[in-house]
Amino acid sequence: HHPPRSKAEVWRTPRGVGGIGELAMSGLGRLFGKGKKEKGPIPEEAIQKLKETEKILIKKQEFLEQKIQQELQTAKKYGTKNKRAALQALRRKKRFEQQLAQTDGTLSTLEFQREAIENATTNAEVLRTMELAAQGMKKAYQDMDIDKVDELMTDITEQQEVAQQISDAISRPMGFGDDVDEDELLEELELLEQEELAQELLSVGDKEEEPPVKLPSVPSTHLPAEPAPKADEDEEALKQLAEWVS
C-alpha cells in the first residue's frame, strides 16, 4: 500500500491517473467557464424576456402600493383606540414600502439592461451595415489605381486648357489692324484734336478784325430773260431818256 498523499499531490495528479486529478480539473473548468458552453439566447429573445419580467414587476409595484394604502388606512382607523393593531398595520406598511423600494430598484436595473441590449443590437446592425458599405466601396474601387486616377485628372486638365486656347483663338477678331498699338492711335487722335482746336482759335481771331460785310438787298423786279446790253448801248439809252425828259 502506498502512503496517503497530500492535497497538493492530489491536485498535481495528471489526467487519467487515479481519476481524482481529472475530476478536480473538470470542476475548475466549470467554475472558470472552460467547460462546454451553452448557447445563449439571441438579443431579441433576451429583450422580450426582460420586457415580460418588467411587466411582472410593474404589477407587483401596483399591488404593494395598494397594500401600503390599506395598512395606512387601517392604522388611521385604530389610532389610539387599538394601539397594538395600529402599530402592527404600520409595521406591515413599512415592510411593504421596503419591498416596493426593492422592486423599484430591480425594475430600474432591468430597464437599464434592456436598453443596453437594444443599443448593442442597434450598434451591431450599424456596424454590419458599415461593413457592407466598406466592402461595396472596396469592390467599386478594386479595378482603380490612384496613379491612373492622377494621370486621368492631369489629362483632363490639359484638355481643358487646350479647349480654352482654341476658344480664345476662335473668338479673336481677324483682319487688318490687329497688330496696331492702341496707345499710338490714342496719341494720334490727341494731336488731331489739338490741331483742330488751334485752327478754331485762329478763325475766331480773324473774324473779329474784319468789318462786317453788308449784303445788298434782293431786287423785287424780275430780271429780263434776254442777256443784258453792252456798256455803250446802256449809256446811249440813258442819254436819250434824259433828252426826252428835258
Q: Using one digit for the tens of pLDDT, what is the confidence trace for 72-95?
A: 999 999 988 899 999 999 999 999
Degrees (nearest 5) of the Cα angle 110, 120, 35? 80
| CB contact at 8 A, 90 and 71 | yes
Give the mean pLDDT of 175-186.
Answer: 69
Share of the chain above pLDDT 70, in %: 66
pLDDT for 171 equals 81
Residue 8 vs residues 4, 21, 171: alpha-carbon distances, Å: 12, 10, 102
Highest mean predicted confidence (pLDDT) among 37-46, 114-123, 173-182, 204-213: 114-123
Q: pTM for the whole thing?
A: 0.43
End-to-end alpha carbon distance in the chain: 210
Residues 23-63: pLDDT tens digits?
A: 444 544 554 455 555 677 898 999 999 999 999 999 999 99
Share of the chain above pLDDT 90, in %: 38
pLDDT for 175 equals 60
Domain spanning 44-133: CATH superfamily: ESAT-6-like (1.10.287.1060)
Give the mean pLDDT of 232-240.
Answer: 71
How far apart, in whole angstroms, are the C-alpha atoms of residue 82 and residue 75?
9
How far apart, in whole angstroms, are the C-alpha atoms of residue 138 and residue 141?
5
How far apart, in whole angstroms, are the C-alpha atoms of residue 87 and residue 78?
9
| Average pLDDT in the chain | 77
**Residue 89 CB: number of other CB atoms within 10 A?**
20
Q: How many helices (H) and strands (E) does the chain have?
A: 7, 0
More confident residue, 176 or 11: 176
Give the mean pLDDT of 216-242.
Answer: 61
Question: How many Å is the maximal CA-CA distance in the chain?
Answer: 210
pLDDT for 221 equals 53
**What region does 96 belong to: left with phi over 0, alpha with psi -120 to 50, or beta?**
alpha
Confidence class for position 232, pLDDT limits 50, 70, 90: low
| Residue 12 predicted with pLDDT over 70 | no
| Domain coordinates in residue numbering, the chain | 44-133
Residues 183-204: pLDDT tens digits?
A: 888 888 888 888 888 888 887 7
pLDDT for 176 equals 52
How far apart, in whole angstroms, are the C-alpha atoms of residue 107 and residue 86?
31
